[in-house]
């Protein structure tokens, strides 16, 4: 049976070029970057070259990139540093953030009595920027705003320029979980006044278990993991050399044909929307996930007219891979915290499915999914 993979917001297939890079690294560049001999020095040189190349794609400086085990660790590293080392007393965030941010903020609130303020979400799932400005102006002491660039469940895009400008005007630090943005959208740290953001390689066809934190120059980082001086003292532990080099290659490939790939995937998403509307009544799209301007071209969150309790299971039986929300919540029976926040109780009980696309998907696959729905939605 042909598998149709439409869960790219959860993770992406690894590019052959990335696999080759990782394999070459594992066989030829196996040294410990902290070792002083030639083999160790070679590994160290490759890691630092990867850091420089990744920074170039973001118009950042190499010493602003800290390698981590992924986006969740990077979010934790930044948020905890903001409170413990930078004196943040107030965090402004939203209730539709990824749990890597939400749960970390909740823990910081309990542990350090940080004041947490939640910005309002509009009916279409956008941040209420007027309310954000009001929260910033009414807050005292050191403030951190933490808002994700692209929502991982419904694809809503944050206006990074607007938020970074508001934070700059109100002397607040700005952190953005950009896991669904890096590798899919151009990011220029010299134009944005963002202080922190994070990325994860497996969201842009790289290996799992590796990512990075961008931390603006001049902000001192203290490690969460103690035991070594790696990452300029920011993270103890031997560097994951082969995965770092794989991430470098994946990001290079992502930005090599970014415009062409984005246009192809957007057209595929538009085609899926058209086919859903044409073939089924009472289908709606959660948030603004059907918008070309307000939502990522990768993600489409579809709400059906009633509850189909076995829909994802039946899609899986037919070889179609999709998601009911974040993959991190796959074992939860509480439903999507994002959809629960933006939908009323009646609508949130209806079945919603997140489809997320990549350049490897085709219109023929979309047609097969539509045919599957014709059999299942009756």
Q: How is residue 359 annotated by DSSP?
A: T
Q: What angle do CA 26, 27, 33 make, to 5 degrees?
A: 55
Q: Are 295 and 153 in contact (CB under 8 A)?
A: no
Distance CA 190, CA 332 (A): 40
Query: How far from each other are the two terminal CA atoms of the chain, in whole angstroms?
Result: 24
**CA distances from residue 323 to 162, 300, 351, 354 in whole angstroms, order as listed:** 31, 11, 11, 5
**Domains observed in the chain:** 4-12+257-376 (3.90.1150.10), 16-256 (3.40.640.10)
Name the pTM for this structure: 0.95
Distance CA 195, CA 60 (A): 11
* DSSP H or E segment with residue 244: helix 241-256
pLDDT tens track of the chain, all 378 residues?
789 999 999 999 999 999 999 999 999 999 999 999 999 999 999 999 999 999 999 999 999 999 999 999 999 999 999 999 999 999 999 999 999 999 999 999 999 999 999 999 999 999 999 999 999 999 999 999 999 999 999 999 999 999 999 999 999 999 999 999 999 999 999 999 899 999 999 999 999 999 999 999 999 889 888 999 999 989 999 999 999 999 999 999 999 999 999 999 999 999 999 999 999 998 999 999 999 999 999 999 999 999 998 999 999 999 999 998 655 544 445 789 999 999 999 999 999 999 999 999 999 999 999 999 999 987
Distance CA 196, CA 190 (A): 13
Q: What is the pLDDT of residue 333?
A: 56
Task: Say if strands 352-356 and 299-303 run parallel, antiparallel, or are unpaired.
Answer: antiparallel
Q: What angle do CA 38, 39, 41 make, to 5 degrees?
A: 60
Q: Positive or negative CA dihedral for 48, 50, 55, 56?
A: positive
Six-digit token pair at 244? 């770092």
Q: What is the pLDDT of residue 325?
A: 65
Q: What is the pLDDT of residue 329?
A: 45
Q: Which residue has the tokens 């700059």?
A: 168
CA 302 to chain centre: 20
Secondary structure of the chain: what % helix, strand, coil (to 5)? 45, 15, 40
Which residues are tagged catalytic? 328
Q: Are 154 and 129 in contact (CB under 8 A)?
A: no
Q: What letters, b where the CB count within 10 A reaches 16 and e where it falls short, cover 274-297?
A: ebbeeeeeebbbbbbbbbeebbbb
């Amino acid at each position: 049976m042909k598998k149709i993979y439409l869960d790219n917001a959860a993770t992406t297939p690894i590019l052959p070029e990335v696999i080759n890079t990782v394999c070459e690294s594992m066989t030829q560049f196996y040294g410990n970057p902290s070792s002083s001999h030639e083999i160790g020095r070679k590994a160290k040189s490759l890691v630092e070259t990867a850091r420089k190349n990744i920074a170039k794609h973001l118009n950042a400086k190499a010493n602003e990139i800290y390698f981590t085990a992924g986006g969740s660790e990077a979010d934790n590293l930044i948020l905890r540093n903001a409170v413990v080392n930078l004196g943040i007393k107030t965090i402004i965030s939203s209730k539709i953030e990824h749990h890597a941010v939400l749960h970390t903020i909740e823990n910081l609130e309990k542990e350090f009595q940080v004041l947490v303020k939640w910005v309002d979400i509009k009916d279409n799932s956008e941040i209420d920027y007027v309310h954000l400005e009001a929260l910033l102006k009414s807050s005292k002491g050191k403030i951190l705003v933490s808002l994700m660039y692209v929502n991982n469940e419904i694809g809503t895009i944050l206006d990074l320029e607007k938020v970074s400008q508001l934070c700059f005007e109100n002397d607040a630090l700005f952190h953005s979980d950009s896991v669904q943005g890096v590798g899919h959208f151009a990011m220029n740290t010299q134009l944005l006044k963002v202080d922190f953001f994070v990325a994860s390689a497996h969201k842009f066809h790289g290996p799992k278990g590796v990512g990075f934190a961008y931390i603006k120059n001049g902000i001192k980082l203290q490690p969460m993991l103690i035991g070594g001086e790696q990452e300029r003292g920011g993270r103890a532990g031997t560097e994951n050399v082969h995965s770092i080099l794989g991430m470098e290659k994946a990001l290079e490939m992502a930005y090599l044909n970014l415009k062409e790939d984005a246009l192809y995937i957007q057209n595929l998403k538009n085609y899926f929307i058209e086919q859903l509307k044409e073939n089924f009544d009472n289908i709606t799209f959660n948030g603004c996930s059907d918008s070309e301007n307000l939502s990522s071209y990768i993600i489409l969150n579809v709400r059906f007219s009633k509850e189909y309790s076995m829909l994802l299971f039946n899609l899986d039986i037919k070889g179609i891979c999709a998601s009911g929300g974040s993959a991190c919540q796959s074992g939860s029976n509480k439903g999507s915290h994002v959809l629960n926040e933006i939908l009323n109780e009646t609508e949130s009980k209806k079945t919603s499915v997140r489809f997320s696309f990549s350049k490897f998907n085709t219109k023929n696959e979309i047609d097969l999914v539509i045919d599957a729905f014709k059999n299942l939605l009756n």
